[in-house]
Structure 1
Amino acid sequence: MTCPSYTIHSRNCHCGWNNAFPPAHTAEPGQTLTFECKDASGGYYTADSTSADVGGQDPATINPVTGPIIVDGAKPGDVLKITLESFAPSGFGWTAIIPGFGLLADQFQDARLHLWNYERDLTVPAMFGNHARVPLKPFTGTIGVAPAEPGTHSVIPPRRVGGNMDIRDLSAGSVLYLPVEVEGALLSIGDTHAAQGDGEVCGTAIESAMSVTVKIDLIKDQPLRFPRFETAGPVTRHIDCAGYDVTTGIGPDLMTACRDAVSGMIDLLGRSRKMSAEDAYMLCSVCGDLRISEIVDAPNWVVSFYVPRAVFA
């Protein structure tokens, strides 16, 4: 017998993780659910917002997630299998430089907001002013289950049970496996993005409200240390058609190397594309990929930052 589909409306949202939050629904393994997800600001930014609005939001309202959902029969030691079936984007999004947040927060201390309007059918890239056209690939930035530790925990850092992982490849067709720590699992989903580069270096992607349809399954008695996922690939087809410009950071500290690689790309985009540093930083966050290229030749490691030339075509 097929379980009927069910919609979890965005009014059923919460900020932070707490295994005492009341459930919005109880799902059966095998059921298909649609989560109506708010953007990371919870709707704070609108078409009339400006950079002056950045920083004015109550921190307690940031990154709401829809749920939680009890999965009938889920117990600690089980694995929740989540098949991401489809995304229905809203057509509106935002990217911001938020003071005190992001990989280069010390270098970018002034607020900046960019608003996006894009085709909901994703048939054309989203325009980044006159600078670039960013191909879209919707995914869920935050997806997780409740931790066993009591109390309310911030939704910002990712956790063993998932959460704010910001993995671009958790897109349609991917399958995510999460370790269950509490009875019922208590699944929540949110922080949906229309596009993002690996690393989300300025701290925000194309943050955009959308609905996410998933199928829930349960794997019994198969402990999992950390989340894992499957993706059919290829993972960069939407941008991998015109080559890349790449900068590197090299040294004994991976975080410093990351910062050097991204700073180098911002400088390069300023020279070659006549972009302001702020625009280059935001563009890097929504379509550039931060990668570890080498981590065995001690004492120095290599981090590379890739920006696809396709966005400038």
Structure 2
Amino acid sequence: MPEVIFGLDSTKRFREQEKIGHNRWHPAVPPVATVKPGATFRVHCREWFDGEIHNNDSADDVRDAPLSIVHALSGPFAVQGAEPGDLLLVDILDVGPIPQEDSGPLAGQGWGYTGIFAKQNGGGFLTDQFPDAYKAIWDFQGQVATSRHLPGVSFTGLVHPGLMGTAPSADLLRKWNARETKLRDTDPNRVPPLSLPPLPQDAVLGTLSGSAFDDAAAEAARTAPPRENGGNQDIKNLTKGSRIFYPVYVPGANLSVGDLHFSQGDGEITFCGAIEMGGFIDLHVDVIKGGMQTYGVGENAIFLPGNNNPQYSQWLAFSGISVTLDGEQHYLDAQLSFQRACLHAIDYLTTFGYTPEQAYLILGAAPIEGRFSGVVDIPNSCATVYIPTEIFDIDVRPSASGPTKVKATGKGVPKSSF
């Protein structure tokens, strides 16, 4: 096993650990460890809500989830010799649930969860159609996930970090805040908001204290969206065997990682759409000097996907176009097309006995594939959603005999509303 350079005690909260990570992006957050190019090491990661979501049959914890505390990130880790303009090469050697703990109160100890976030608390991709909070608990057996709340479904997890990235420079941080403020000001009262402003409340910035903490917390960026440094990209194929090349903006690169997922569908459409968990990740790092200019990677990471994906051979695909539910035509709106494809898939799965919320949760957590299929034929873009049929216990393909109903478990999906 590689050396653990960031360990976590499962009995303590994120702020109480021996080494303190962070939950905001800022160049002043000091590294918790420094490694040499070519190093291999292990990092423990807390589940993104630091234990606020519980293994039970209530969705009140999802309804009340405190967004001000996310994400609980491990790091930053400085790499000797890395300088702005370099590319940081990161290999994911292994990743999984909390090691050697197959049961316990924390997500990752034998279980994980998927949540539909309420519109008043972040919402999701289909928040107008699903405005209330729901939750599904998944049990892990080896690499397979099943849920008492979603009968007739099981699949191999495609374990990956939802969030990994390098620290922004002061200039890049200012750009983020300026452009996101400008967007937010176009509709400041929107629910959910168009962007999240810096929030000193509940900020964790490593070992920063006093005026240094106050100054950084006032401008540190929230970790919710992906940005030029990587961040919360939620790419399900960024898994074991992947090699990622991150732009370096500060000396040492200052790499951070967290938000581990046991599985996820493309888009993580319920917002908490993956199977969230804590766990470990083994990384190897190296530096390509001057790589940003050499390879034209001025912003945003590039990567080689891992080669350990679960293999599915049978798929059922749904398409959507850029027309709203009430018939309004939009011009080449690929996001709207993907929303419509997801809604068509949800409508279809309800004919087999699933509730719309159960179908929505399945699309968020199972290894579905989302694709932009046509984005040039005015006025309609076309997006598609591919569902592997092998994840269901019943045959979900259309047939002359009609749909077979899934056997209900009696649990249903826990709901909580405002």
- CA offsets per residue over residues 171-206 of structure 1, 9 Å max, x none? 110101100011111110000000001111111200
Identify the residue that residue 98 of structure 1 maps to in structure 2.
Answer: 117
Q: Assess, with a 3 A threshold, how the Cα gap between structure 1 residues 49 and 190 changes in structure 2: closer, same or farther.
A: farther
- Check whether the contact 2:52–2:61 (CA below 8 A) recurs between aligned residues: no
Higher strand share: 1
Give, as a single letter, the amino acid of the residue that structure 1 aligns with 2:44.
E
The number of aligned residues is 304
Identify the residue that residue 54 of structure 1 maps to in structure 2.
Answer: 62
Displacement of 1:298: 2.9
User: Aligned match of 2:52 in 36, 44, 48?
Assistant: 44
- CA offsets per residue over residues 17-72 of structure 1, 9 Å max, x none? 11111211011111112111111212111224620111323222122111111111
Unaligned runs of 5+ in 2: 9-16, 98-107, 174-218, 323-331, 394-418
Displacement of 1:13: 2.2
Identify the residue that residue 281 of structure 2 maps to in structure 1.
Answer: 212
Identify the residue that residue 136 of structure 1 maps to in structure 2.
Answer: 157
Identify the residue that residue 261 of structure 1 maps to in structure 2.
Answer: 341
Aligned equivalents of 1:300 and 1:233: distance in 2?
34
Structure 1 residue ranges (4+ consecutive) displaced by more than 4 angstroms after TM superposition: none
Q: Are 2:263 and 1:195 equivalent residues in the alignment? A: yes
Give, as a single letter, the amino acid of the residue that structure 1 aligns with 2:304.
E
Give, as a single letter, the amino acid of the residue that structure 2 aligns with 1:61.
I
TM-score normalised according to structure 2 size? 0.70
Please, which moves more after superposition, 251-260 or 69-78?
251-260
Larger Rg: 2
What SS does the corresponding residue of 2:126 show, helix, strand or coil?
coil
Aligned equivalents of 2:230 and 2:111: distance in 1?
26
Identify the residue that residue 294 of structure 1 maps to in structure 2.
Answer: 374
- Check whether the contact 1:79–1:218 (CA below 8 A) recurs between aligned residues: yes
User: Aligned match of 2:81 in 55, 70, 73?
Assistant: 73
Identify the residue that residue 285 of structure 1 maps to in structure 2.
Answer: 364
Identify the residue that residue 24 of structure 1 maps to in structure 2.
Answer: 32
Aligned equivalents of 2:57 and 2:307: distance in 1?
36
Give, as a single letter, the amino acid of the residue that structure 1 aligns with 2:35.
A
Identify the residue that residue 320 of structure 2 maps to in structure 1.
Answer: 249
Aligned equivalents of 1:59 and 1:256: distance in 2?
26
Displacement of 1:258: 1.2
- Check whether the contact 1:8–1:33 (CA below 8 A) recurs between aligned residues: no
What aligned pairs does 1:143-158 form with structure 2 within 5 A after superposition? 143-149=164-170, 150=173, 151-158=219-226
- Check whether the contact 1:92–1:209 (CA below 8 A) recurs between aligned residues: no
Identify the residue that residue 160 of structure 1 maps to in structure 2.
Answer: 228
Give, as a single letter, the amino acid of the residue that structure 2 aligns with 1:8.
F
Identify the residue that residue 9 of structure 1 maps to in structure 2.
Answer: 7
Aligned equivalents of 1:259 and 1:6: distance in 2?
41
Q: Report the aligned-residue RMSD.
A: 1.7
Identify the residue that residue 116 of structure 1 maps to in structure 2.
Answer: 138
- CA offsets per residue over residues 208-252 of structure 1, 9 Å max, x none? 1110000011111111222000125475xx2513x1221111132
Please, which moves more after superposition, 283-292 or 7-16?
7-16
What SS does the corresponding residue of 1:206 show, helix, strand or coil?
strand
Aligned equivalents of 1:194 and 1:148: distance in 2?
31
Aligned equivalents of 2:66 and 2:307: distance in 1?
38
Aligned equivalents of 1:72 and 1:49: distance in 2?
47
- Check whether the contact 1:103–1:201 (CA below 8 A) recurs between aligned residues: yes
Aligned equivalents of 2:57 and 2:26: distance in 1?
32
Aligned equivalents of 2:57 and 2:72: distance in 1?
19
- CA offsets per residue over residues 247-288 of structure 1, 9 Å max, x none? 1111321121111111111100001x2101111001001122
- Check whether the contact 1:102–1:202 (CA below 8 A) recurs between aligned residues: yes
- Check whether the contact 2:319–2:382 (CA below 8 A) recurs between aligned residues: yes
Give, as a single letter, the amino acid of the residue that structure 1 aligns with 2:36.
E
Q: Assess, with a 3 A threshold, how the Cα gap between structure 1 residues 232 and 208 changes in structure 2: closer, same or farther.
A: closer
Give, as a single letter, the amino acid of the residue that structure 1 aligns with 2:42.
T
Q: Identity, % of aligned pairs?
A: 31
Aligned equivalents of 1:78 and 1:190: distance in 2?
23
Displacement of 1:115: 1.2
Unaligned runs of 5+ in 1: none
Give, as a single letter, the amino acid of the residue that structure 1 aligns with 2:374.
E
Displacement of 1:126: 2.7
Identify the residue that residue 353 of structure 2 maps to in structure 1.
Answer: 274
TM-score normalised according to structure 1 size? 0.92
